Amino acid sequence: MRVEARILLLLGAFFGAMCVVYWFWGHEDAGSIMMLGGTLLGFLPGTYYYYWSRRMTPRPEDRSDATLEEGAGVIATFPGSSIFPFLLGMGAFLSVLSMVFGVWLAIPGVGLILWALLGATAESRRGGVH
């Protein structure tokens, strides 16, 4: 987790420096606030990951003396093919389109979303199709 923490902290520092430069160069409030948000989006998870990387035992990815065998593990089963992710995407698509073309399009969109959520839940409980 240490590598991920360093990447996020560097991104936060970069956005922080760019926020200062942007503020003094452009004197614009909206862009500076957005850059400050980007800074926080780098620093908040970065400090969390760094905190936990110091407390936990190092993963094989974090150690320079690790071997490939240490990083290998049990590969779990992968989900089978299912129609429900497609139905969820189409329902979301119709729901977003209802903002443009009318509220009537939200009815089939919400119906598809509910059908996809119920179907995916039932499929995961039963084991799905192999």
- Which whole-number Å values give the CA distances from 12 to 7, 26, 127, in the listed order? 9, 20, 42
Residue 112 CA from chain centroid, whole number: 24
Render pLDDT for 73-94 as a digit per residue (tens, 0 to 9): 776 666 678 899 999 999 999 9
4 close to 58: Cβ distance less than 8 angstroms:
no
Asked if pLDDT for residue 54 goes beyond 80, the answer is yes
Percent of the chain whose predicted confidence (pLDDT) is above 90: 64
113 band by pLDDT with thresholds 50, 70 and 90: very high
79 close to 35: Cβ distance less than 8 angstroms:
no
Asked if pLDDT for residue 125 goes beyond 90, the answer is no
Render pLDDT for 11-30 as a digit per residue (tens, 0 to 9): 999 999 999 999 999 989 89
Taking 3-state DSSP, the helix, strand and coil percentages for the chain, each rounded to the nearest 5, stand at 75, 0, 25
Asked if pLDDT for residue 128 goes beyond 80, the answer is no
pTM, entire model: 0.56
